Structure 1
C-alpha cells in the first residue's frame, strides 16, 4: 500500500465532465429480439374448435389417462397449494388464451406443479372454454374445481407436469 501511495503522490484527480455516452442501438435490438423470442416460447395455440370430454355431472374436473386418479382426488381436497393464481375476470377469450399460455410456460420454467386459474362465474363464457383449453396443453396433467378458499365454482386448480431440474435438457 505504501508503494502505491508513493507512486500516486502528486497526481491530481480528474474532474468529471458532463459528457454522457449514447446508448448503443444493438443492445436495444437484442432486447427486443429476446422479448419476442420469450413471447413465442410462451405462446401456445389453443383451438376454440377443440372440445375435450369433461363430465357433465359433478364438479368440473379432468385427469389425463397416464395420471393416477388419486392425483385428482388430492386436487379436490386441496392437498396441492397453488404457487401462482391467475385472475381472468374481465378478459376476453383471446386475452385469456394468451395469459393462460404465458402462465403455463412460466410455471414450467419455474418448476411449479400447481396453479390456480380464477375464471369467475359471470355469464360462463370462460368457465366453459377454459377446460377445453387446458385439456389441449401437453403439460396439464389434471384439473379440478378449486376448494372454496381459492374460488370454488369460479376457479380451477391445475396440476402441471414439471421437468425435473436434474433431468437432461433435450
Structure 2
C-alpha cells in the first residue's frame, strides 16, 4: 500500500523542527561480516575435542613389567616382537620435545588422526627422557586410544628409551 505524499503544511513543520541540525558523519563506518573459522582452526578444535575424549590424565593402565610396551586385546603379541626388533620402520614421526602436557596431547591426537587418514601403519613418537613427565604420560594416553594396536620402546636408531614405536589400526 502506497503512503500518501506529504502536504506542504507537514513539510514546513518538519523543516522547522529540523532547523539547525546537520547530517551524522557515522555513515562511513562499515560493518564486518562474521568470519568463519579457518580450516586449520577447525582442525585444531577437532583435535582438542578428540584428545580430551580419548586421553585422560588420571587413567593409568597396568603395563606390568613390560612398561611402556603394550598390545591391544585381540592383537597378536608377535606385533610387539616385531616392533622391538625394528621390523617396522616409522612412516611418520612426532617430536614432543619442548611441549607441555596439553600441547603434547593435542599433537598426539592429531598425529593419530592424520595416520588414519593417510593409512599409515607405524608411527614414532619422540617424548624424550628429561623430567619424565611425557615419558610416563604418553604411553598411558596411547594405551587409551582405540586405534592404537601396539606400542614398544623404539630401537636406538629411532630414539631408544626417549621414543615409542606405535602401530595404528587405520582400517578400523
TM-score > 0.5 by shorter chain: yes
Any idea what SS the aligned residue of 1:127 has? helix
Show the 5 A alignment for 1:1-170.
29=35, 32=37, 34-43=39-48, 44=50, 45=52, 46-55=55-64, 57-58=65-66, 60-163=68-171
CA distance in 2, matches of 1:68, 1:58: 16
- Counting matched residue pairs gives 137
Structure 2 gaps, min length 5: 1-31
CA distance in 2, matches of 1:135, 1:58: 13
Instruction: Return structure 1 stretches of 4+ with deviation > 6 angstroms.
Output: none
CA distance in 1, matches of 2:124, 2:80: 14
Q: Which has the larger radius of gyration?
A: 2
1:81-111 CA distances to partner (integer Å, 9 max, x unpaired)?
1111111111111110011011110111100
Question: Over aligned residues, Cα RMSD in angstroms?
Answer: 2.0
1:36-76 CA distances to partner (integer Å, 9 max, x unpaired)?
44334434221111111112x35620001110110111111
Structure 1 gaps, min length 5: 1-24, 165-170
Any idea what SS the aligned residue of 2:120 has? coil
Normalised by the length of structure 1, the TM-score is 0.74
Normalised by the length of structure 2, the TM-score is 0.73
Alpha carbons 1:144, 1:156 under 8 Å: kept? yes
Q: Tell me what 1:12 maps to.
A: none
Any idea what SS the aligned residue of 1:65 has? coil
